[in-house]
Amino acid sequence: MSDSVYKVIELVGTSTDSWEKATQNAIATASQQLRDLRIAEVSELDVQLEEGRIVRYRAKVKVSFRYQA
């Protein structure tokens, strides 16, 4: 196996249903634009509130992919 270099970017996925779907949305969108995704790490979870109610789940996701110069 040859040595490789990976780039890490941070995304925020959102969903009105759950943190899991918010994470899936971030990864699905990234996979449309980036090739060779390797690892996704959820680094932060939060919610958006309106009038004391949860209206949106948010997942901050770090995604790594192979860097190709």
Domain coverage including residue 34: 6-66
Judge whether 60 lies within some domain. yes
| pTM recorded for the entire structure | 0.86
pLDDT number for residue 4: 84
Judge whether 54 lies within some domain. yes
pLDDT band at 3; cut points 50, 70, 90: confident
Q: How many domains does the chain have?
A: 1
Judge whether 46 lies within some domain. yes
pLDDT > 80? residue 1: no
Summarised one tens digit per residue, pLDDT across range 14-58 is 999 999 999 999 999 999 999 889 999 999 999 999 999 999 999
Instruction: State the CATH number of the domain containing residue 36.
Output: 3.30.1660.10
Strands (E), 1-69: 6-15, 37-50, 53-66
pLDDT > 70? residue 11: yes
Judge whether 1 lies within some domain. no
For 42-54, what is the HEC assignment? Answer: EEEEEEEEECCEE
Judge whether 51 lies within some domain. yes
